[in-house]
């Protein structure tokens, strides 16, 4: 396996279902929404919705509208999240699509400041999420005696609610809920 293939697989981590269940119960249900209608950064193996957009179809250029008219789930590659935050805001204002975008948390970056101006809310995730590693990466690590590492970054869930977007100098509401597990 090449180094480039390994780097690609490291961006293919899946969100655990227990966290998705928490988001549905804590975020979507109180807002009168149900399950996610579409996963916009997925593959057949890790999708969190019946409808998904894969890397080839590209969620940054494909509309997030979906058959169920449900919210969009987005766990983008953490190496470049700003375009996904901008796309989520665009989908909320242009297509009336609510979305939840999961990223790492680094308030010292430009993209974090952008997210605060674009999102309805940012939910500080506690404790850290143990993402599900891609099976091919796990196989490679096992064959090479490499111990799997955990998530070393805090996470934040950005909520883009078309009915509650900040305007002017407003910023996203910061929410620190009870631990998700």
The two tokens of residue 120 are 């309805």
Distance CA 44, CA 50 (A): 10
Q: Is the pLDDT of residue 146 over 80?
A: no
pLDDT of residue 137: 65
Distance CA 139, CA 10 (A): 13
Within-domain flag for 103: yes
pLDDT of residue 163: 96
Residues 6+ apart with CB under 8 A from 117: 166, 171, 172
Within-domain flag for 131: yes
User: Are the CB atoms for 154 and 128 separated by under 8 Å?
Assistant: yes
Within-domain flag for 181: no
DSSP, collapsed to helix, strand or coil, labels residue 173 as strand
CATH of the domain at 88: 3.40.50
Burial pattern 53-86, b for ≥16 Cβ within 10 A else e, equals bbeeeebeeeebbbeeebbbbbbbebeebbebbe
The two tokens of residue 118 are 């674009």
Distance CA 10, CA 22 (A): 24
pLDDT tens, position by position, 90-110 = 999 999 999 999 999 999 999
Where would I find the H helices in 39-161?
82-95, 110-118, 135-143
Distance CA 90, CA 121 (A): 15
pLDDT tens, position by position, 1-11 = 787 776 666 66
Within-domain flag for 180: no
Read off the pTM.
0.89
Within-domain flag for 78: yes
pLDDT of residue 158: 98
Q: Is the pLDDT of residue 130 over 90?
A: no
Between 48 and 145, residue with greater pLDDT: 48
Q: Taking all residues of the chain, what is their mean pLDDT, rounded to a whole number? A: 90
Within-domain flag for 169: yes
Q: Is the pLDDT of residue 143 over 90?
A: no
Within-domain flag for 144: yes
User: Are the CB atoms for 122 and 173 separated by under 8 Å?
Assistant: yes
Within-domain flag for 166: yes
pLDDT of residue 11: 60
Number of domains composing the chain: 1
Task: For residue 113, give its domain range.
Answer: 3-175
Cβ burial of 111 (10 Å; 0-12, 13-18, 19+) is middle
């Amino acid at each position: 396996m090449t180094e480039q293939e390994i780097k690609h697989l490291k961006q293919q981590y899946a969100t655990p279902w227990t966290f998705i269940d928490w988001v549905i119960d804590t975020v979507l249900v109180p807002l009168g929404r149900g399950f996610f209608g579409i996963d916009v950064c997925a593959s057949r193996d890790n999708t969190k919705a019946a409808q998904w957009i894969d890397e080839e179809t590209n969620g940054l250029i494909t509309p997030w509208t979906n058959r169920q008219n449900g919210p969009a789930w987005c766990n983008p590659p953490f190496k470049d999240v700003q375009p996904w935050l901008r796309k989520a805001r665009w989908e909320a204002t242009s297509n009336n699509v609510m979305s939840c975008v999961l990223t790492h948390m680094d308030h010292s970056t430009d993209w974090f400041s952008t997210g605060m101006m674009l999102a309805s809310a940012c939910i500080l995730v506690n404790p850290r999420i143990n993402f599900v590693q891609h099976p091919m990466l796990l196989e490679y690590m096992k064959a090479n005696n490499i111990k799997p590492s955990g998530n070393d970054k805090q996470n934040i869930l950005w909520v883009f609610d078309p009915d509650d977007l900040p305007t002017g100098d407003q910023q996203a509401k910061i929410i620190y809920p009870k631990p998700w597990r």
